[in-house]
Amino acid sequence: MAQTTQNSAPRPLPEDWDRLLAVVAHPDDLEFGASSAIHRWTQQGKDVVELLVTKGEAGIDSMDPGACAPLRMAEQRASAEAVGAATVEFLDFPDGTLEYGLPLRRSLAGAIRRHRPDVIVSINFREHFGGGSFFNHADHRVLGPALLDAVRDAANRWVFTEQLVEGREPWDGVRFVAFGAAPDPTHFVELSEENLAAGIASLDAHEVYLANLDGFDQKTFLREGAVSSGEWAGVPLATSFEVFDT
């Protein structure tokens, strides 16, 4: 089903679509680059739904998960508002121990059938991020393959048939899945200063989470990333994606 569209020439991400489902593991995942593009798209009038597979409850060492989850959910809603995404939903998978398997594929396929997106955006699922030796989070590495498989599942009437009884008809309308912050991107979205500022504001909304990241400067990080991606793409500012056609 899914095939990476890699080649040596950066290409603009197609924007001739209307509905986007942004699917990530944790609150704050979208905000490391993709949310600036989401702002561009909501300004174009596109419909964007953010779906969080976990509630991020294991993300702050100093907070008990029971107290952390509602805080991080609230921060994600504020973050989505900053870039114009009107709908934020949460699944209930455990943060930090996400497992590839039928329960995850079933939930993702159900969401795809319900929201019927043209395009899906997520975060890098490769072992590393570009230009560094940081080993990617286990949840990210699990989610990417499960999400690509769920796109196929959602289109197949004979997979997860119980969802048909619930009124979730098959959906084969997903054109491509784009993964932000990938080490080997294939496409880019050009950003304006306004888009970048909104993206920074969306990451700023994760105030308590960021306060627990010792010495992290999100404004510098996002601007440097947008400049670097822009240099790769041949535009002043950009964010990049690895794209799989479906």
Rg (CA), the chain: 17
| Domains in the chain with CATH codes | 16-245 (3.40.50.10320)
What's the whole-model pTM score? 0.95
DSSP code at position 239: E
Alpha helices in the chain (DSSP H): 34-43, 65-82, 102-115, 138-155, 162-165, 193-204, 207-211, 218-233
- Closest to 78 measured CA to CA, from 217, 221, 198, 219: 198
User: Tens-of-pLDDT digits for all 246 residues of the chain?
Assistant: 445 555 569 999 999 999 999 999 999 999 999 999 999 999 999 999 999 999 999 999 999 999 999 999 999 999 999 999 999 999 999 999 999 999 999 999 999 999 999 999 999 999 998 777 789 999 999 999 999 999 999 999 999 999 999 899 999 999 999 999 999 999 999 999 999 999 999 999 999 999 998 888 999 999 999 999 999 999 999 999 999 999
- What is residue 5's predicted lDDT score, i.e. its pLDDT? 54
Q: And the tokens for 150? A: 């769920």
- What is residue 1's predicted lDDT score, i.e. its pLDDT? 44
Task: Report residue 241: phi and psi, to 5°.
Answer: -145, 145
